[in-house]
């Protein structure tokens, strides 16, 4: 069963007034992912079966079958089970830097990245399930088009943020092209670190951390960084252009061959001077059949404008590409979770207040902010923390590929100033 999203042209779902912003230029169990029930579906690689969630309960299915009308099995996200009997507590400390990023194009529903975060197949009348959260008052009176944006994507994927980036991504400096180009030239990236890994396709327990990078520093061979991780010496690169990245004609750029060194944003660290103190770190992770599975949150500052995205209740599913004699890589990964609407509004409101963007004032009082933020408010579809409550967050997901890399220095970047706090209740009340 699939959700009832329609294919729309890029302009069909543009949010009102957004032309202005464009102009602004624990121990591993068989089911690691909390809230997903084990389903003995078979397959799932060397780890055994898969972990999944189904809205159609066993009792309901049995009851329907007895009456001759078998209930449908709802779609959901499936994760490989943790491997059994696989060696763990390995000594590999491997870093990766995101190279290509996909936020999802609502006009191509099957390509929108994400997971079934709420175990509900929204807008599928045959297999809908109980909604996770109650609608806040400001979601009353939605148009049919606004209602449709709250539907799941195919395979019950939750990602309402895809609409926000489709319409306002240029203003955020966060489109697929801008983010990928920025990573390619070394301006920014997100770093993923796997520790205590045995280096194989099956490891029952690993540690995963997520860092935001301030930019590429250099490409070197066989360098041991300050964190103790070793950078691959598969190919020696040339000196880099510092933490600001390269990217210009004739300027050095990342080599993407396992030798690249990326600086760390201190906002990723609990001790700003120590790269071994990541805020977003989890031991709820394993590798099964070459698939890295982790439950980890993340804060990253995307693109040249350092647009902040704070991911809560994050889920990472990353296929590892391992081959003799070459650095490992990640291909076709998904990182998804919940993005508090309060954090979204703060991010949009502070876009103009970063010093290296000209020191512009906060934009909460502008029509641009009201249009973008108001549209974001209408996209809340999940809760933080996950579970029953009032919808207060957007579902979010990215797809990505990543290459082996290493950590460099800790480099602080200009940070947004303090801007007024705005809520959806007050924002949308002003429009009515």
Q: Classify residue 432 by burial, with Cβ atoms within 10 Å: 0-12, 13-18, 19+.
A: exposed
| Lookup: tokens for 87 | 């060696």
| Cα–Cα distance for residue pair 280/286, rounded to 1 Å | 16
Using the predicted structure, report yes or no on whether residue 279 has a pLDDT greater than 90: yes
Half-sphere exposure of 146 (CA within 13 A, CB side): 15
Q: Are 322 and 358 in contact (CB under 8 A)?
A: no
Least confident segment among 244-248, 287-291, 354-358, 404-408: 354-358
Neighbours of 420 (CB within 10 A): 9
Using the predicted structure, report yes or no on whether residue 327 has a pLDDT greater than 60: yes
| Lookup: tokens for 432 | 């009515």
| Cα–Cα distance for residue pair 255/232, rounded to 1 Å | 12
pTM for the model stands at 0.79
Phi and psi at 368, nearest 5°, equal: -55, -50
Bond into 385 cis (ω within 30): yes
| Lookup: tokens for 346 | 């703060």
Alpha helix (H) ranges present in 261-389?
Answer: 341-349, 367-377
DSSP secondary structure, 194-232, as one string: EEEE-SSS-BS--EEEEEEE-EEEEE-SS-B-TTSPBPP
The fraction of the chain above a pLDDT of 70, given in percent, is 71
Quick: pLDDT tens for 79-117: 899 998 888 778 999 999 999 999 999 999 999 999 999
What residues have CB less than 8 Å from 182, skipping those under 6 apart?
Answer: 188, 245, 303, 304
Using the predicted structure, report yes or no on whether residue 281 has a pLDDT greater than 90: yes
- ∠363-394-44 over CA atoms, to 5°? 145
Q: Are 237 and 259 in contact (CB under 8 A)?
A: yes
Predicted confidence band of residue 235 (pLDDT cuts 50, 70, 90): very low
Helix (H) or strand (E) holding 167: helix 161-172
Phi and psi at 190, nearest 5°, equal: -115, 135
Q: Tell me whether strands 393-410 and 260-264 are parallel, antiparallel or unpaired.
A: parallel
| Cα–Cα distance for residue pair 278/268, rounded to 1 Å | 6
Q: Are 296 and 251 in contact (CB under 8 A)?
A: no
| Lookup: tokens for 232 | 């691959």
| Cα–Cα distance for residue pair 333/429, rounded to 1 Å | 40
Helix (H) or strand (E) holding 428: helix 424-431
pLDDT attached to residue 125 = 72
The fraction of the chain above a pLDDT of 90, given in percent, is 51
Segment 298-314 shows an average pLDDT of 90
Predicted confidence band of residue 10 (pLDDT cuts 50, 70, 90): very low
Give the SS3 label for residue 282. strand
């Amino acid at each position: 069963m699939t959700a009832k999203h329609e294919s729309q042209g890029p302009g069909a779902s543009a949010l009102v007034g957004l032309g202005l912003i464009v102009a602004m230029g624990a121990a591993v169990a068989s089911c690691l992912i909390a809230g997903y029930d084990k389903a003995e579906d078979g397959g799932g690689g060397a780890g055994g079966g898969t972990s999944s969630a189904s809205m159609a309960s066993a009792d309901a299915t049995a009851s329907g079958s007895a009456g001759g009308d078998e209930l449908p099995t709802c779609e959901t996200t499936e994760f490989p089970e943790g491997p059994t009997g696989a060696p763990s507590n390995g000594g590999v400390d491997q870093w990766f830097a995101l190279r290509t990023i996909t936020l999802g194009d609502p006009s191509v529903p099957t390509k929108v990245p994400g997971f079934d975060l709420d175990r509900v197949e929204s807008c599928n009348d045959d297999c809908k399930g109980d909604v996770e959260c109650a609608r806040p008052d400001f979601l009353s009176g939605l148009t049919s088009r606004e209602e449709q944006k709250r539907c799941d994507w195919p395979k019950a994927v939750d990602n309402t943020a895809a609409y926000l980036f489709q319409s306002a991504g240029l203003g955020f400096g966060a489109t697929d092209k801008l983010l990928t180009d920025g990573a390619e030239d070394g301006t920014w990236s997100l770093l993923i670190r796997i520790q205590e890994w045995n280096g194989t396709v099956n490891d029952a327990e690993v540690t995963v951390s997520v860092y935001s990078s301030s930019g590429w520093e250099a490409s070197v061979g066989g360098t041991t960084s300050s964190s103790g991780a070793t950078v691959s010496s598969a190919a020696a690169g040339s000196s880099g252009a510092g933490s600001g990245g390269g990217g210009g004609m004739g300027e050095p750029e990342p080599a993407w061959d396992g030798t690249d060194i990326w600086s760390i944003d201190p906002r990723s660290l609990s001790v700003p001077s120590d790269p071994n103190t990541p805020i977003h770190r989890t031991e709820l992770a394993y590798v099964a059949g070459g698939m890295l599975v982790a439950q980890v949150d993340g804060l990253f500052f995307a693109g040249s404008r350092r647009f902040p995205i704070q991911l809560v209740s994050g889920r990472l599913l990353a296929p590892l590409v391992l081959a003799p004699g070459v650095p490992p890589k990640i291909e076709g990964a998904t990182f998804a979770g919940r993005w508090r609407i309060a954090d979204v509004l703060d991010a949009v409101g502070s876009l103009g207040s970063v010093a290296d963007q000209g020191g512009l004032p906060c934009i909460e009082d502008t029509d641009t902010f009201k249009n973008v933020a108001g549209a974001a408010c209408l996209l809340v579809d999940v809760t933080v923390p996950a579970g029953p409550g009032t919808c207060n967050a957007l579902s979010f997901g990215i797809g990505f590929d990543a290459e082996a890399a290493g950590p460099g220095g800790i480099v602080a970047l200009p940070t947004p100033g303090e801007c007024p706090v705005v809520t959806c209740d007050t924002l949308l009340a002003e429009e009515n």
